[in-house]
Structure 1
């Protein structure tokens, strides 16, 4: 670990702990020193023994130790030779489903309609969504995810919980053709979304969005209405597309059996505000349409493998410069909300699909988890890389644990060795959300009590539901 007399002297100045006089000439809020910085900028620059200077919510300088002679701050973090990188971005989730994590694992074929939806219908509530979102956001923060995109219900409660933990999120209010927990009428999510968007339109951490569930659960007319509203309100649209192979035949009015992507294009709603979750069953024509529309895709390899829904053509999309990010899907689909295991799945599923061990190298995978996710959410001007002018969404991954040693190639270390417990510090918008594995803004004891109440309430019903659901045939056949 590099330690010089000059650095020690600078550290004494920076901490401002002189007993003789208080420090009054700070020109930064926070400084990170002694890290292996993966900038993920256009040149993928790596800075050893690097320094990052933060003022309020923004990165104002990135470079070597010479910055220590120019900047002083009340908070100085020694990265201790750890890997310093942009916070990771989970581009597709259903975070409150973490309350149901581990359920329905008995080999149920029609898990979405025979298990997920009935479970939600019986047990979802505002309180559960709020408490489960807090749990999920803590899980994300401890694993180095600083931004996530989500499709679910009662998005105002999700936003409240997310902000309490301190994360950044794109939150899409679900719109679907049957009654749900926050909309007693079919498609009631549209009005709910309009109110939610109005409330959070200019929030520093929350980007409100529409989330029509899928092309086979939302009518043509409602998709067009949402598209018009998204234009008027400058709101993203999150939607499941190409998750199952038989979606074309399940689309109402799709007499020509157009693919889901071609259907979205045909009805005039495929545009740059749309993020397509999964994109497993895509043809080259579909990819061309996505590219032309400047739409995005959230690649969920671990969830897709667990659900046996297929392997998305992610390598093809990456090569063709599609806006492509990584996601976990909901906590009942991959049982994870962090991206660490998803990183290796992202590479290995593509290598298996193409029978080529040279593709999707670790540097490309980390790109997808950071700036790729930012591009997918059209937030690349704000987050996703460590560059001057961008928001200070930064994580430090320690490299002293046995599983992180040796660290010859930081990208390979992250993709194939690291796990959530290696994340030492999570910073979002210039604020420390997690430090030394401790969440800063949440009473963990109270949160654990709330989760136990939810678990006790759900367990018996979930067990009986599994017995019924296991008899339901798969909709994928």
Structure 2
């Protein structure tokens, strides 16, 4: 009888233990992504086959393999179907509302910036156009896997509103220039506009406000120094065009001094500064940039199309300068996604240095992700798939003919993929694109808006191109 009672007690205990194990609660998650190749872009460039990512609210809380599925539960599981899971791409230089003018001025106009760009903007820019064009551009980016973009333009409050509606992240620099412009009737009015914009958006979860002085040759020494002081006061970035053209030293009347040396000499080169283009720089310039911890936005596709030159990106990277990838404005490269730019980034450097072994695909993908985050001083938040970072993640499908075979996911991304291969875009833990469909904005509504803009601009743009051609 004693043995019977003892055995009954043991069996009962085992049964209760088994039941409790079966009903043990899993930790809750917002989104689980499984069954894909994860390019973490962490410091070791870790790649996880058949990986799993756990997202809770806006952050990544765990990365690993199938064992995580036993620990976490969610109502939203995304099957990557053997696709490439990677950090969202970061476009480090743009003028996004110019997407309203994309495809114009392509008739071989010599001085396209001053004879065509600026007059077109002067006549047609408005708050309404900037808002609607930004909606369109951020839709284009979201669908193509760009989760963060850096921009220099006007009416940044309108751009911020549009960017947040679509749901991607923006580092938005209000343009400062010595001419009257659409949002500042007085020269340098962009400074006060920028201050108001910074005050409004300084704590926003998606918008990082910034200053965007156009270039050293269009902003005086005193105003550059003022902007630098304000940037330090508010702890915000400065984005500026430097070294885009080969005569910038002449525009500044510099004698025996480069534009980078000039910026350094007046005290406006530091870790908060992002230099866009940086083509016509010498080795001394690069050393100064490195020592001052400034960053560079490399725009190979736009620079090739504009015949402005090829930046020394290979040397910059070898010097451990922070370098991200950019498209420049949509009238310069006609793109806002980074896929074609990935290929250009590699190919243009190999052509410049006559060396096919440099700028390997993994390095190019780095520039488009964690490299861009470093250039914008956001690498503690985004740019790689790591626990604790914000969930800015994309999934690139590998089922389409152009993605097969897929022996090396880095090479596939750089030399085979295009924007239509992006299956899913997640920003700040929110699904923006799913199954290649935008979830946050009515695309048909935006199509109608862009058709109206096109109709309004077409005749004026045609006449302007004719006049600009005659001045060549």
Same fold, judged at TM 0.5 (above)? yes
Q: Does structure 2 conserve the Cα–Cα contact (< 8 Å) formed by 1:26 and 1:74? A: no
* Structure 1 counterpart of 2:344: 345
* Structure 2 counterpart of 1:193: 194
CA distance in 1, matches of 2:219, 2:470: 27
SS at match of 2:359: coil
* Structure 2 counterpart of 1:183: 184
Q: Does structure 1 conserve the Cα–Cα contact (< 8 Å) formed by 2:211 and 2:227? A: yes
Larger Rg: 2
* Structure 1 counterpart of 2:216: 215
Structure 1 stretches of at least 4 aligned residues deviating more than 4 Å after TM superposition:
23-26
Q: Does structure 2 conserve the Cα–Cα contact (< 8 Å) formed by 1:249 and 1:257? A: no
Deviations 1:255-295 (A, max 9, x none): 42421111110111001110000000010000001001100
* Structure 1 counterpart of 2:286: 287
Q: Does structure 1 conserve the Cα–Cα contact (< 8 Å) formed by 2:177 and 2:219? A: yes
Q: Does structure 2 conserve the Cα–Cα contact (< 8 Å) formed by 1:277 and 1:298? A: yes
* Structure 2 counterpart of 1:325: 324
Deviation at 1:472, TM superposition (A): 3.2
CA distance in 2, matches of 1:194, 1:472: 39
* Structure 2 counterpart of 1:429: 428
Deviation at 1:471, TM superposition (A): 3.0
CA distance in 1, matches of 2:371, 2:346: 14
* Structure 1 counterpart of 2:312: 313
Deviation at 1:25, TM superposition (A): 6.0
Equivalences, count: 449
Q: Are residues 1:463 and 2:462 paired?
A: yes
After superposition, residues 128-143 of structure 1 pair within 5 angstroms as 128-143=129-144
* Structure 2 counterpart of 1:3: none
- Which residues of structure 1 form unaligned runs of 5+? 1-22
After superposition, residues 54-65 of structure 1 pair within 5 angstroms as 54-65=55-66
* Structure 1 counterpart of 2:381: 382
Q: Does structure 1 conserve the Cα–Cα contact (< 8 Å) formed by 2:26 and 2:72? A: no
Deviations 1:421-453 (A, max 9, x none): 000000000000111111111011111111111
Q: Does structure 1 conserve the Cα–Cα contact (< 8 Å) formed by 2:41 and 2:385? A: yes
CA distance in 2, matches of 1:436, 1:58: 22
- Which residues of structure 2 form unaligned runs of 5+? 1-23
* Structure 1 counterpart of 2:19: none
CA distance in 2, matches of 1:255, 1:425: 49
CA distance in 2, matches of 1:450, 1:257: 50
SS at match of 1:470: helix
Deviations 1:16-36 (A, max 9, x none): xxxxxxx99651111000010
- Normalising to structure 2: TM-score of the pair? 0.94
Q: Are residues 1:97 and 2:79 paired?
A: no
- Normalising to structure 1: TM-score of the pair? 0.93
* Structure 1 counterpart of 2:15: none
